[in-house]
Amino acid sequence: MLRGKRIKLGPIKREYIDSFLKWFNDPEITQYLIIYRPMTRMAEEEWMETLKEREDTIHFSIVIPNEDGSEILIGNCGIHKIDWKNRVGELGIVIGEKEYQNEGFGTEAIEILLEYSFNTVNLNRIELLVYDYNVRAMKAYKKVGFIEEGRKRQFMWYKGAYHDAIMMGILAEEWVKKNKK
Ligand SMILES: CC(C)(COP(=O)(O)OP(=O)(O)OC[C@H]1O[C@@H](n2cnc3c(N)ncnc32)[C@H](O)[C@@H]1OP(=O)(O)O)[C@@H](O)C(=O)NCCC(=O)NCCS
């Protein structure tokens, strides 16, 4: 369990499956993700099953702890496609409960995940792709120190037009420098 000021990153639990199905079948959420087919319970269960065997993925739930010990699940995040030789990973995040978006929770989760990736897992580089119309996500990534490294032109088709994907990345040395200030 990783603790931030207002949220915690914790394990993925089977009981989260209904929330995941709700988020990953909501076009308002999936417009920003690679997912475009309906997400089935079967596929979601299979994904959960394979999580424990996967060496290239570290996945967390994002929860808000209540004073009585209960938790509100608001999203999930993780580092994927980890390349252990070169110490590179790809960051993914969703604040799936829409009433908790735009409250700073996404930014906080990314900060916790970067701290863990660089200082616990000892990765050297975290990268991601963000679609050009996802201004909110780009803003959150830049706030924590990601920089724009390039652009995949006409990478994806959305609402009748091709859109670019922005390549962003942050290095361990940049994270250390930013957090020393
Ligand atoms: C992207 C995401 C993780 C960000 O988390 P969040 O908790 O909603 O965002 P935060 O409140 O931490 O920060 C968002 C910033 O963007 C700003 N913002 C919000 N909507 C915006 C918009 N339409 N245009 C420009 N900026 C916007 C906010 O004001 C905030 O900046 P500020 O702190 O300077 O005020 C979350 O919105 C999400 O899961 N979205 C759907 C899935 C997704 O896009 N995942 C990422 C795929 S690359």
Ligand 1 centroid – CA 103 distance (Å): 8
Nearest atom, ligand 1, residue 134 CA:
44
Q: Is the pLDDT of residue 181 over 80?
A: no
DSSP state for residue 151 in the 8-state scheme: E
Model pLDDT, residue 180: 87
Mean pLDDT of the chain: 97
Q: Is the pLDDT of residue 143 over 90?
A: yes
DSSP-derived secondary structure for 126-140: EEEEEETT-HHHHHH
Tell the residue nearest (CA) to atom 37 of ligand 1. 101
Ligand 1 centroid – CA 148 distance (Å): 17
Model pLDDT, residue 22: 98
Residues with CB under 6 A from ligand 1: 29, 32-33, 93-95, 101-107, 130, 134-137, 139-140
Ligand 1 centroid – CA 142 distance (Å): 11
First to last CA, the chain: 26
| Structural domains of the chain in order of their starting residue, each with its CATH number | 2-180 (3.40.630.30)
Beta strands in the chain (DSSP E): 2-3, 8-10, 58-65, 71-83, 88-95, 125-131, 147-158, 161-171
Model pLDDT, residue 6: 98
Q: What is the pLDDT of residues 47-90, one digit of tens each?
A: 999 998 999 999 999 999 999 999 999 999 999 999 999 999 99
Q: Would the pTM of this model clear 0.75, i.e. be above it?
A: yes
